Amino acid sequence: MSITITAFEPQKHLDAAATLLAARHERDRQRDPRLPAAFVMAEACRPIIEHSLEQPGWYGVIAHEGAEPVGFMVMTPQLFAPTHFLASFFPPHSAASNYQQHAAKGGMEYDVYREMYANLADHFVPLGYFDHLVAASPSDAGLAEAFASLSFARHAVAAMRGVGPTEKTQAKVEMHQASAEDAEVVFKLAEELTLHHAKSPIYWPYLRETDESSHEMQKGLLTDPQANAHWVAYEDGKPIGMNTFMPPAFLSPLLVPPKTVYLFQGIVTSDARTGGVGTAILSRGAEWAREQGYEYMTLHFAAPNLQGARFWQSSGFVPVEFGLRRRVDDRIAWANK
């Protein structure tokens, strides 16, 4: 098999990319029918790829076998300010291929992705982008093998469940939906969540410079209790846990069925864990989601988060996306010259 790789030119290659992405989505949907049906059509995929190409600094490739397009992949620089509330969760100055920014012909994933990534890395590494992120379907074995062979490992997981009741034992706790006056309670619980992520084996740094942006974000959510909800559990008047719900802004449209809400933060204070509090909060959140007419809930967790990964998956969340990450040894910038 001879694969040729050339730079992605929107006017020339968008239609082929949209067709490849729609075909990939159809295969993904056969394995997970919860995924939205609309994107098995190339016309629906086209504007989403186009949107990626509006991001400054993007670079992409298209793969051909003979005259046939067999893959495309686009990466975009991720340049969160170090004060941004998401800065703790992403490596700074990274290059990412999001869920909708790549596809390979079915059965050719291993060879096509390896060739495409080699070309993309050759573009981004000389520009100083040593952290590379790729979002992948958890059930795409060919893609997983290709990126494992390219030194990528699992960094984050997005998962989804319906809004039905949880079946696990729950504690009897008082539950309130936070309003703007409860901002300090929400800040404190969000801080405990970020501190949890800074511990072993996750080790996502807690950048205190992000506090202001994080508070602004939480305050923004609190101003619209219809679209967003912070469910807070209390024991003897003390806040002991919280689930925050908001629209699914952090996920690819290909992963979001209609009527989906996003569970942004889930935390129980360390002294109150493993007694059914987390389940009680999730249960109240699911009830609220049903009342609002939602059918699905999505969330992210850090792949190395032992408690979070176990709890969400035992509560019915099933992975829909693996965020893969590779860090290139940055000594390559000066060695071998």
Ligand X SMILES: CC(C)(COP(=O)(O)OP(=O)(O)OC[C@H]1O[C@@H](n2cnc3c(N)ncnc32)[C@H](O)[C@@H]1OP(=O)(O)O)[C@@H](O)C(=O)NCCC(=O)NCCS
| Separation of alpha carbons 203 and 1, rounded Å | 42
Nearer to ligand X, 11 or 274 (CB): 274
User: How many Å apart are CA 178 and CA 190, to the nearest integer?
Assistant: 13
Report the residue from 194, 218, 279, 298 that binds ligand X according to the rule CB under 6 A. 279
Interactions with ligand X, residue window 202-231 (CB under 6 A):
none
- The nearer residue to ligand X, 114 or 168, going by C-beta atoms, is 168
Beta bridge partners of 238: 235
Closest C-alpha to 301, from 309, 311, 289: 309
Q: Which of 91, 142, 278, 285 binds ligand X (CB under 6 A)?
A: 278
223: phi then psi, degrees, rounded to nearest 5:
-75, -15
Contact map string, positions 164 to 203, toward ligand X, x by CB under 6 A? ----xx-----------------------x--x-------
Q: Which is nearer to ligand X, 197 or 326 (CB)?
A: 197
Which span (50-58, 129-137, 274-282, 285-293) binds ligand X, by CB under 6 A? 274-282
* SS3 state at 34: coil
Q: Enumerate residues 248-267 that contact ligand X by CB under 6 A.
A: 266-267
The distance of closest approach from Cβ of residue 85 to ligand X in the complex, given in angstroms and rounded to an integer, is: 15
CB nearer to ligand X: pick between 139 and 307: 307
CB of 284 to ligand X, least distance (A): 12
> Tokens 């699914």 — which residue?
248
CB atoms within 10 A of CB 230: 26
Stretch that binds ligand X, among 36-44, 61-69, 110-118, 304-312 (CB under 6 A): 304-312
Cβ pair 112, 71 in contact under 8 A? yes
**Does the footprint of ligand X cover residue 316 (CB under 6 A)?**
no
Q: Which is nearer to ligand X, 97 or 166 (CB)?
A: 166
Residue 275 is a binding residue for ligand X (CB under 6 A): yes
40 and 25 Cβ atoms separated by less than 8 Å: yes
| Least spacing, CB of residue 314 vs ligand X, in Å | 3
User: For residues 297 and 289, is the Cβ–Cβ distance under 8 A?
Assistant: yes
Q: Considering the rule CB under 6 A, would residue 276 count as an interface residue with ligand X?
A: yes
Find the angle CA(42)-CA(44)-CA(47) to the nearest 5 degrees.
105
Residue with nearest beta carbon to ligand X: 278
Q: DSSP for 184-209, please give it.
A: HHHHHHHHHHHHHHTSTTT-----GG
Instruction: Yes or no: say if 241 and 184 are a contact pair by the CB < 8 Å rule.
Output: no
Based on CB atoms, which residue is closest to ligand X, 75 or 282?
282
To ligand X, the closest distance from the beta carbon of 329 in angstroms equals: 30
For ligand X, give the closer residue by CB, 106 or 275.
275
Interface residue with ligand X, options 80, 99, 262, 301 (CB under 6 A): 301
Q: Indicate whether 304 belongs to the interface with ligand X (CB under 6 A).
A: no
Identity of the residue, 14 or 193, whose beta carbon is nearer to ligand X in the bound complex? 193
Name the H helices within the chain.
Answer: 10-31, 42-52, 109-124, 141-149, 183-197, 211-222, 277-291, 306-314
| Pairwise CA distance, residues 38 & 169, whole Å | 37
Footprint on this chain of ligand X (rule: CB under 6 A): 168-169, 193, 196, 266-268, 273-279, 301, 305, 307-308, 310-311, 314
